[in-house]
Amino acid sequence: MPWNEVSAVDLREEFVLLALVEGSNVRELCRRFGISPTTGYKWLERHGAEGRTGLHDRSRRPGHSPGRTPAALESRVLALRDGHPAWGGRKLRRRLRDLGETDVPSASTITAILRRHGRLDKQGAEPQRPFIRFEHAAPNDLWQMDFKGHFAIGRGRCHPLTILDDHSRFSVCLEACADERGATVQERLTAVFRRHGLPWRILADNGAPWGDAADSPHTWLTVWLLRLGVAISHGRPYHPQTQGKAERFHRSLAAELLPYQPFTDLAHCQRRFDAWRHVYNSERPHEALNLDVPITRYRPSPRPFPDSLAPVEYDSADIVRRVDAAGRIYFRNRKFPIGKAFRGHPVALRPAIRDGCFNVFFAEHHVATIDLNEAT
């Protein structure tokens, strides 16, 4: 029968001592001990050279490993990982190369280093999912704007306002806000527009302060954006995939910053947000960008933020109506709802392709369609 692992050395020694007896048949002993002649002669040779010590199992690790990562480089990998606990092998490899490191090991080797030193939680790894990637052709074509779920801090709560450029994944804005009111968002957007210029369009969800499902897709905040020449669009209700890049940014924020910071107040939040935003934009390799960093693909908008808003004007051929206090316009002896966000503002009606239908524009933006063929 095969040797019992617990007493393997004793059995090996017994085999050797019996085999050394004058007149012993070594091959017959091998058969009785359940080992091959090759194994039997190996133990005889080791016992002759080292005694009982030679009968212990030896490590299978090679005596020389020319391909092993140098200890100093392993230390630099571990130090970078400790500074960014959510980064995997591909990001760490690209960042080491960007820092000027030579002979950087492969991403799989870096992953093995992390696993060997207990830096990886296999259960925490995200499963690979099929996806379709889409991005706008140029920076500032579209910004995705949203609030990350608010969380408690030492004094009050923090509501992170995030804006991400769709083309470059550049974090245009990461602001620690005390609330989610329209005035708060307008103040932050004004500062962002002054620094980065105006985008062509902003994508937001349907909730306040940029949507009012009970009245219309617009609020006074989005009307302000339309006057600036920034189109506004909304994701499908209950479909966060529409703002997939913003959602992915929120996941990175939650994984790389929020769990490691006991925030005391909004000022402390903002300091940490600013530091992490710099890393995200300028240091953190982004897999959707072929491991480039977002700042290499972003450029400020050539459309500056105006010092004052010009009055809304329309072409002489347009049918102009002013929205009343109830958010309606009067046309062809009937009243049509446009939205309370447009109260006091002029809108233009232009005939649509279908007979009896008119498109309603605010500035150059289409905001509604009215149909004279409807009964009410």
Domain spans of the chain, in order of start: 5-55, 71-122, 143-297, 319-371
Backbone φ/ψ region at 312: left (φ over 0), alpha (ψ -120 to 50), beta = beta
State pLDDT tens for residues 3-13: 544 468 888 88
- The strand pairing partners of 357, in sequence order, are 371
State pLDDT tens for residues 94-125: 888 888 887 888 888 888 888 887 777 654 44
Q: 5-55 maps to which CATH number?
A: 1.10.10
- Residue 246 CA, distance from chain mean position: 8
pLDDT beneath 50: ranges in the chain: 1, 4-6, 123-128, 130-132
pTM greater than the 0.85 cutoff: no
- Neighbouring CB atoms inside 10 A of 71's CB total 7
Residue 187 confidence (pLDDT): 96
Residue 61 confidence (pLDDT): 67
Residue 323 confidence (pLDDT): 96
- Neighbouring CB atoms inside 10 A of 311's CB total 6
Residue 166 confidence (pLDDT): 93
State pLDDT tens for residues 311-367: 999 999 999 999 999 999 999 999 999 999 999 999 999 999 999 999 999 999 999
Peptide bond into 209 cis (omega under 30): yes
Residue 131 confidence (pLDDT): 46
130 Cβ contact list (under 8 Å, min separation 6): none
* Fold of the domain built from segment(s) 143-297: Nucleotidyltransferase; domain 5 (3.30.420)
